[in-house]
Amino acid sequence: MAFSPLLQELITSLRCLPGVGPKSAQRMALHLLERDREAAQRLSQALVDAVENIGECTQCRTLSEDPVCEICADESRDRSLLCVLESPVDMMAVEQTGGYNGIYYVLKGHLSPIDGIGPDALGIDALVERVNNSDVQELILATNPTVEGEATSHYIAEQFSGEPLRITRIAHGVPVGGELEFVDGGTLAHAFAGRRVLLKESE
């Protein structure tokens, strides 16, 4: 059975969402049209409003309705700490921990020559300029622990070679509550590389 052109267009449009395949998109479209047209109207209006009114912060590049996001505008944040992340959702994850009070810079991706994503697309030049023209004393590289994330982190660190700036990389390793026998080799290797001192050797 072939769907009508409008219904097929709706199904195809829903497939742009991550993790949504043909069947899931079909179920979503049919649910909205058959059972909740009011929600469909709200959804369509919310999407239009978001696309038209949400841009990016001029300082950290996260999604924001204002030229400067709430975090960058917050004078109580520690501006000596700058955390570099791959996406706005990573920024939200860090904020939810409540353990970090510095500022951020969102790359919106990672270096990927195969996909044509280079330093310019990530705003790395703007990051360097921001650090050089601010009171940042520590740059925390919190890109994802993937090959691309590690390469991006290394590239950024190289841009500050010789600068009087502390550059750190967030630790990756065994999750709290995890058991070593179930941890993959790569994660375990990161855990050993990022080990910290608990008790210093007595002199």
Per-residue pLDDT of the chain (203 residues; tens, 9 = 90+): 678 899 999 999 999 999 999 999 999 999 999 999 999 999 999 999 999 999 999 999 999 999 999 999 999 999 999 999 999 999 999 999 888 999 999 999 999 988 889 999 999 999 999 999 999 999 999 999 888 999 999 999 999 988 889 999 988 887 777 777 777 787 777 777 777 666 655 55
Residue spans of the domains in the chain: they are 77-171
Distance CA 171, CA 176 (A): 13
pTM for the whole thing? Answer: 0.83
Query: Rounded to the nearest 10 degrees, how much is the dihedral formed by the CA atoms of 117, 141, 55, 57?
Result: -130
Residue by residue, what is the 3-state secondary structure of 3-21? CCHHHHHHHHHHCCCCCCC
CATH number of 77-171: 3.40.1360.10
DSSP secondary structure of 121-157: HHTHHHHHHHHHTS---EEEE---SSHHHHHHHHHHH
> In this structure, what token pair is assigned to residue 69?
């996001």
